[in-house]
Amino acid sequence: MLLDKLDFAYRYPFSQEAREVVAGLNVTAVDRNYLQEGISQITSVLKTGRIAHERTRGITEVKLRYIMGYAYARMLVSAMGDGYSISRFAAAEAEAASEFLAFSVDDMIKIGNEFGLGVKRDKDTFVVGFESFVSVPKRNAELKLINQRLAGGKVTIDVRELLALVKGSIEKGVSEGLPIDRKIIPKEVAEAAKLLKPQEKKIALVSRAGSYSWIEKLLATPIADVRHRSVNLIFAPYLVNVKGLDEESAARTIIDYIERCKKINPNTKINESYIKYQCKYAKNKGLRPLSMTKARELLKEVAEFE
């Protein structure tokens, strides 16, 4: 019976099927091989932001090793006590899963519903509840609420938008399930976590004349010390006057970003009303984002410009 779930569990190691596979193995002691797989997964995340997850047929042990490695990776990243690494891990898992999801609409619906999206298929389109739609972090411009078909508290989306939405729900769900309580992490796993180098708090931002790619990377990378001036001098002007987002979509993008930052440092004091006000103000005044020279000074504690 467990073998019937193995393929799905391998593609999506955070799924209910994967949990059932792990439970069915009835493992009662730390397995060094699976622990090493978990270490490899976390090391890959810290170095590259990605997890190697290849499409493979057969080879049961390879799939079991990956699934169990994910279980150990969750314990390892929790034991590290580094919120930024947890955020990177969740994003990497969502990215790896999306490469499989792209080949199966049925998988998108199943995983999306497992994370509470309530997806229903309507011929070539898909319907999700409004609250479910807005609760998922959206890095994809295609998911701007202003562009959606909204009626009766439901949002109708196409398959590309569904993939982006499910990807966001995975990242959110994996992140919210961490960190695991240290009390239930085996001592051997906790000791192994001490050897893993946490993600550097400073991020590298490449500065090029006339390019705003550094702002895009900043928005994609949660930081521990996000400041009010980042919102009114960088994010709001960039999103409404460079990217051309409406005020609501721009505010939602920033709010989602701040929520991810709070997973690293919950003491961030920036609230939604402040963000909405700054988006409106930037729009009305036609403000442009801070220059790279001035941004370098503002962000010197959290970023390094190359």
Same domain for 71 and 115? no
pLDDT digits (tens, 9 = 90+) for 28-48: 899 999 999 999 999 998 877
Task: Give residue for tokens 């504690």.
Answer: 301
pLDDT at 140 over 60: no
Same domain for 109 and 166? yes
Give 283's pLDDT tier (boundaries 50, 70, 90).
very high
pLDDT at 298 over 70: yes
The mean pLDDT value for 153-169 works out to: 89
pLDDT digits (tens, 9 = 90+) for 45-99: 887 778 877 766 667 888 999 999 999 999 999 999 877 788 889 989 999 999 9
DSSP reduced 3-state for 28: coil
Q: Which domain holds residue 123?
A: 105-170
Contact 49, 92 (CB under 8 A): yes
pLDDT digits (tens, 9 = 90+) for 196-225: 977 556 677 776 666 788 888 888 887 777
CA-wise closest residue to 86 among 268, 286, 261, 282: 261
- C-alpha 268/C-alpha 224 separation (Å) is 8
Q: Residue 301: inside a domain, yes or no?
A: yes
More confident residue, 273 or 81: 273
In whole angstroms, what separates CA 227 from the centre of its chain?
A: 21
Same domain for 71 and 185? yes
Q: Residue 198: inside a domain, yes or no?
A: no
Give 173's pLDDT tier (boundaries 50, 70, 90).
very high
